[in-house]
A and B are shown apart, each in its own frame.
Chain A
Amino acid sequence: MDYMDWVKESNGKFGTSDEDWDFLNQAAVIRFDYDAKGNVSGMYRGKYVYRDGYHELDINPGEIWVVSLSLNPKTNNNYFAKPLMRIDGSFLYELKKDQIDSLAKHLWEDNKVILEPALEEKYKDVVNEQIAKAVKEQTEAVIQEKKALEDKIQELQRINKEDKEIIESKEEEINLLSAKVLVMKNEPDMVAPKPAPQALPEPVGEFTEQVKPPKNIIIRAGPDMLRSESFKKSRYFVHMSADHKSLLIRDDKNGNVVCMDNTILLAGLNTILPFTEECVLPSEYSSRYGGTIVALK
């Protein structure tokens, strides 16, 4: 609704009639205040508007009025204003919803340059606060999700580690049982089940060398018999330490010990180390001696 429509609708309220149309047609909304000379005046289209001195309603400085304007016939440089209605708080309270919207729209469009920076400054903190709050909520949600994923990863890693340990122990068990089966195949007379060989003890320090080929499983298969899958050559040198604690086995084409079917027979081994049952002897390759060192005791 524009200004003139509003005036027409307000005919009854203002006590005007159709004859007053020309009079109303010159109406305008003017803000009055003191000018430089101390007179109460307003501005309309670049010309001063002064109060009509003969009207019963008095216009005070600082007030906004709907007034009827008449051009000064003597000078044509200023208007005289007859007050129609003062725009104040009560006026605003009586406005309808669409009128308020229209008024707000006009106020915004006319004063956008002033209002926008003021509102922006006023609501900047509020908006920032809202943004920070929203960001914080989203961040917390992401952190929660991350923590849940990390917990899940840790759980999976733990399960993975446990599975690996189980696999390693099973592999070791399989290796030892394979060695056991090998022994029993070669000695079919053995019927009574025998305990599985214990895990190999760690090698003694003097036998830990910088180069470590895979460990050879050497089995004491009989009183004077050693058997190993690694005994693939036909001749070996076998040396024993005087304290009877270790045995050095190294392949050599001129070796004085003959190997057949992965088996080496050594005279006097039973005397040195009495045979009780077949077992796996701890062994390790030694680069210093160039052969496999077997711990006898």
Chain B
Amino acid sequence: MSIISFDENDRVMMFIDLRNMTKSVSKDSKYSRIDFVSLVRCLKGPRKLVAAYVFDSKGAIDATDTSKRFHDYLRYKGFRVIARDSYDMEQNTQKEVDVAMAVQMVVHAFKDNYDVAIVVSGDRDFIPAIQEVQSAGKRVEVAAFKTSVADEMERQSDVFHNLDSEPILSLMNPAEITETIDTVQEAI
């Protein structure tokens, strides 16, 4: 049990590493997908949400434009999507994204734009940024699936949210799945 207590007056800012999250549940993607709206609702609780950033790269996987539709969907829902034009087609990896996210975390912390940063990623590359944010007097919570989080990342956080037990995977009717499986689902 954490010694940290929730305060409803805390200003929460969320930083979501989109690709890290979707990779973690890829095995279930045929029937379910991460509902990022529910994810935000679960993590912020009764606290005030200042902003929810989603970091991704443009041109996912096969370089088709399906990722753009999903980014637009997230923007429509209120997310601030930062999509870097830096996808490495040859190595099938994204570049710049982690740094972009770390910069946003630190900048907003020093501008005192939030009280609590929730990092939705298990990637330990964010540890230096988390330490800087904490040194600025901010609290950092990490949310990730247990199987894809680095131990050091879990230890570094003030509060760790195990996403395995949170109901964030959206299920659908069978008919709806056949209609949408080639669109939104593949985009994720």
Contacts and interface: CB of A to CB of B under 8 A. Distances in A.
Interface of A: 206, 224, 237-243, 245-248, 256-258, 264-269, 271-272, 288-289, 293
Interface residues of B, number: 25
Contact of B172 (A242, A248, A256, A293): A256
Nearest to B165: A241
Given A271-B31, A272-B31, A239 B170 contact: yes
B174 to A, nearest CB: 4
B164 to A, nearest CB: 4
A266 B173 contact: yes
Given A257-B172, A267-B172, A239 B167 contact: yes
30 contacts: A206-B165, A237-B170, A238-B170, A239-B167, A239-B168, A240-B171, A241-B164, A241-B165, A241-B167, A242-B24, A242-B163, A242-B166, A243-B165, A245-B165, A246-B165, A247-B167, A248-B38, A256-B173, A257-B171, A258-B173, A265-B173, A265-B174, A266-B174, A267-B31, A267-B171, A267-B176, A267-B177, A268-B30, A268-B32, A288-B45
Interface of B: 24-25, 28, 30-32, 35, 38, 42, 45, 145, 163-174, 176-177
For chain B, what secondary structure do more than half of its interface residues adopt (helix, strand, loop), or is it mixed?
mixed
A236 to B, nearest CB: 10
Given A242-B166, A267-B171, 5 more contacts: A239-B38, A248-B38, A256-B170, A256-B176, A268-B171
A240 B174 contact: no
A248 B32 contact: no
The 4 lowest CB-CB distance pairs between A and B, nearest first, are A268-B31, A248-B167, A239-B167, A267-B174
Contacts of A248: 38, 167
B169 A266 contact: no
Contacts of A243: 164-165
B167 A266 contact: no
Nearest to A242: B164
